[in-house]
Structure 1
Amino acid sequence: MKQKKFLFACGGTGGHVFPAVAIAESLKKAGIENISFAGRKDSMESRLVKPYFEFDEISAVPLHRGSFMQNLGLPYKLLKAVQSAKVVLKKRKPDVIVATGGYVSLPVVIAAGRAKIPVYIQEQNAVAGVANKIGSHYAKKIFVTSKDAQKFFPSTETMVFGNPVRELPKIENLPRPKEYRDGTKTLLIVGGSQGARGINVKMEEALSQIAERKDISVVWQVGAKNFDEICARIQIPENVSVKAFLDNIYAYMGHADLIVSRAGASTLAEILAFGKPSILFPFPFATANHQEFNARVVEKAGAALVELDNDPNDLWNKVQSLLSNAEKLNQMASAAKSIGMPDAADQIAKVILEAEC
């Protein structure tokens, strides 16, 4: 029997690309060989995908929220983007489309839907993005990460599977970072490759208190653009290791007792897949405030505490309270594991394969 061809559409941010790659890798494990991606030229998606999968370029245009004048030309530009997607469909002749959101995916979903090609959509956030909400009208199934996200889509077509992540190494196979000193509780503070200003400010304010806790090892990833300035300006306590970027972040995550982080969908999925308690600082300028909604879902499940950037600084009090309460940490870890679904990519791939192959 002829093997089905799969085309993935994603882009704009790593939060849209990583879940797509995770599902694609699960399809490959299941024996699917003909997988390609569509996205913009010289984009994040092209850099992340090209080393592993065939990639076709399409045009795509973002919706400028709250800007009527900037959106005047949107219908024409979207039509042009759909035409470029049709060219890719004609070239690849896919049997199935998998879209993980972002404005980059919408032209492909529209073109495929009109051509009666089966479309599957995956939504990472508790608040659905515009592209996925529009694209859902063409979708055969929509995969969401929580029941909170189901309300944005037809319930009969929606399945809750958690956010797909690439297969994570087992913690016992990860080397313990040397910055985590033996016999100490371990804290990882990570704000993404650019750092997180709100977290960094609160950490600075707490450094004198942190210095007193020799029983806690802290790894603080401040972001490459902030590293030199922070190291030159601040006296760093001995129990704090400041990093610009973490190459082997899974080792730091896997061996952390507690993680402080932003609440982007992909990072959250990794924290939950490792079953780690967390303190979440949602990025305050995320589209539709989706990071706070993501964080509140995890908080409601008992796996995290949430603090906003403009809240009074209670970060270190939260950290000390949790690290001194083994029972609470264990409860939060269990809650994280219960909603983490590290096999989400495999489960999604299985549903699609059962329906299409």
Structure 2
Amino acid sequence: MTKIAFTGGGTVGHVSVNLSLIPTALEEDYEAFYIGSKKGIEREMIESQLPSIKYHSISSGKLRRYISWDNIKDVFKVLKGILDARRVLKKEKPDLLFSKGGFVSVPVVIAAKSLKIPTIIHESDLTPGLANKISLKFAKKIYTTFEDTLQYLPKDKADFVGATVREDLKTGDKKRGYQLTEFNDNKKVLLVMGGSLGSKKLNSIIRENLEALQASYQIIHLTGKGLIDEQYSNQKDYIQFDFVKDDLTDLLAITDTVISRAGSNAIYEFLALRIPMLLIPLGLEQSRGDQIDNAENFEAKGFGKTIPENDLTEQKLIAQLNNIEANRDVIINQMQTYKESFTRQDLFRKIIKDALS
């Protein structure tokens, strides 16, 4: 029986595709296991959402683009991670490795190469991350979500597959969404989400401008874990959730416009649902700029508008939302031109074919 090793971590985006592909592997009678860090978000996500999957933890360092003494210490962590990953791979004997990226994936990919295990990499963002740039030297193939990403990669190794959108995304129940929020269909619904950890700046500006926003919208505010503000609990046309998992599709079913970060997985889901979006990407002080690239790409394609977080003000927020509403039909028509490229089953079969050919 073919066995597949999965790796990737550090952020939700570096785990989400794996979370959709592992059940597909099991459905098609393949064996699967995961290699990640000891305390990273990937461990929490895999062990909570796929408890039957064997999880192996390894040492991992952080890859930095700036000069730091920690880089020296982390070299040794990465070297130990390679040894840890080799031990796991020699024990499990997988036929291939699928890597979603993130710093924990680098020692795993290097270890796989040393054991002649073929590796396939997936890059969700417009520009490749540092981990995937390093890993690509040891991998057989890299898949991209954005077609424009191909310009940054060697032609003989890169392949555009588009976004892999989860099948349940379009099964949201509007009736259930209205029940959860106690909203109605007489006024548009605005969904605000600042990522799993939330955005204090975005949360503040939404709350400070509730009256102006409530003139046009009923507002669902996903604040991030532990960031609900109880003093706003009884506001009309406004509801807070710190985190939503199973009910998110129902909330999306009643959403007309979304304010969001610009992680590739999330924005492609909004695109698939034809929901106009106002994107507030993470700034350079919090990331390598991948969300900025993603947001600018989507704005250029006419799928919504962007405000850099450092430029976020009440005036710009209201102005861009008004812009979206004035051009709603144009934006949705532009979204209609997008075709989802791959189902998770299609992507899984391609991984098997490319890795083992």
Task: Give the structure-2-normalised TM-score.
Answer: 0.88
Partners of 1:349 and 1:16 lie apart in 2 by 17
Percent of aligned pairs sharing the same letter: 27
* Aligned residue runs from structure 1 range 147-162, under 5 A: 147-162=147-162
* Aligned residue runs from structure 1 range 254-265, under 5 A: 254-265=253-264
Partners of 1:268 and 1:189 lie apart in 2 by 13
Aligned to 2:178, the other structure's residue is in SS state coil
Residue in 2 aligned with 1:16?
A: 14
Whether contact under 8 Å (2:147, 2:162) holds in the other structure is: no
Whether contact under 8 Å (2:165, 2:340) holds in the other structure is: no
How many residues were matched structurally?
346
More displaced stretch, 116-125 vs 147-156? 147-156
Amino acid at match of 1:268: I
- In structure 2, do the counterparts of structure 1 residues 155 and 236 end up closer, same or farther at CA, with 3 Å as the change threshold? farther
Moved over 3 A (4+): 163-166, 171-174, 234-237, 323-326
Partners of 1:142 and 1:196 lie apart in 2 by 32
- In structure 2, do the counterparts of structure 1 residues 176 and 77 end up closer, same or farther at CA, with 3 Å as the change threshold? closer
Deviations along 1:69-101, one digit per CA (max 9) or x if unpaired, are: 111233332221101000001111011010000
Structure 2 residue 229 is the aligned partner of structure 1 residue 246: no
* Aligned residue runs from structure 1 range 1-357, under 5 A: 3-29=1-27, 31-50=28-47, 51-171=51-171, 173=173, 175-178=176-179, 179=181, 180-213=183-216, 216-228=217-229, 231-232=230-231, 237-247=235-245, 248-284=247-283, 285-311=285-311, 312-313=313-314, 314-323=316-325, 325-335=327-337, 338=338, 340-341=340-341, 343-355=342-354, 356=356
Partners of 1:307 and 1:52 lie apart in 2 by 42
Whether contact under 8 Å (2:304, 2:324) holds in the other structure is: no
Shift in Å at residue 32 of structure 1? 3.4
Q: Which runs of 5+ in 1 are unaligned?
A: none
- In structure 2, do the counterparts of structure 1 residues 333 and 236 end up closer, same or farther at CA, with 3 Å as the change threshold? farther
Considering only aligned residues, what root-mean-square deviation do their CA atoms show, in Å? 2.3
- In structure 2, do the counterparts of structure 1 residues 203 and 340 end up closer, same or farther at CA, with 3 Å as the change threshold? farther
Whether contact under 8 Å (1:269, 1:340) holds in the other structure is: no
Whether contact under 8 Å (2:303, 2:332) holds in the other structure is: no
Aligned to 1:225, the other structure's residue is in SS state coil
More displaced stretch, 243-252 vs 279-288? 243-252
Partners of 1:40 and 1:227 lie apart in 2 by 30
Task: Give the structure-1-normalised TM-score.
Answer: 0.88
Whether contact under 8 Å (2:191, 2:219) holds in the other structure is: yes
Whether contact under 8 Å (1:123, 1:142) holds in the other structure is: yes
